[in-house]
């Protein structure tokens, strides 16, 4: 995983078709100057506007173990920083 910015073409490369509509919030988040954005360039995008907002994760398919571990580490960090953070998921 690498930290990126909103002008990275990876968003348009990875998020296609109906996912562009379902995950349109990713496009809004990438415009925020202080947002956190990370990707593995092939299966995952993590986006967060700021520490007080939810983390959004787009997955092309289930991540491989190294990517899964990086996602888990980031979510653990978010949970440690804020007691108001909750995790929910919706399978595709």
pLDDT at 24: 85
- Number of folded domains that form the chain: 1
Could you tell me if residue 46 is inside a domain? yes
56 lies in which domain range? Answer: 2-81
Could you tell me if residue 86 is inside a domain? no
Tens digit of each residue's pLDDT, the chain (92 residues): 999 988 899 988 888 888 888 888 888 898 888 899 999 999 999 999 888 888 889 998 888 999 999 999 998 888 888 766 667 776 65
Rounded to whole angstroms, the maximal C-alpha distance in the chain is 35
Could you tell me if residue 92 is inside a domain? no
pTM for the whole structure: 0.84
pLDDT at 37: 93
Q: Are 92 and 61 in contact (CB under 8 A)?
A: no
Could you tell me if residue 31 is inside a domain? yes
Distance separating alpha carbons of residues 20 and 23, to the nearest angstrom: 5
Could you tell me if residue 27 is inside a domain? yes
Distance separating alpha carbons of residues 73 and 67, to the nearest angstrom: 10
């Amino acid at each position: 995983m690498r930290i990126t910015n909103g002008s990275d073409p990876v968003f348009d490369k990875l998020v296609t078709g109906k996912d562009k509509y379902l995950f349109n919030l990713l496009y809004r988040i990438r415009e925020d100057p202080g947002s956190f954005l990370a990707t593995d360039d092939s299966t995952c995008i993590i986006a967060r506007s700021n520490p007080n907002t939810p983390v959004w994760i787009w997955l092309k398919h289930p991540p491989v173990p190294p990517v899964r571990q990086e996602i888990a580490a980031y979510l653990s960090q978010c949970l440690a920083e804020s007691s108001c953070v909750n995790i929910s998921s919706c399978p595709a």
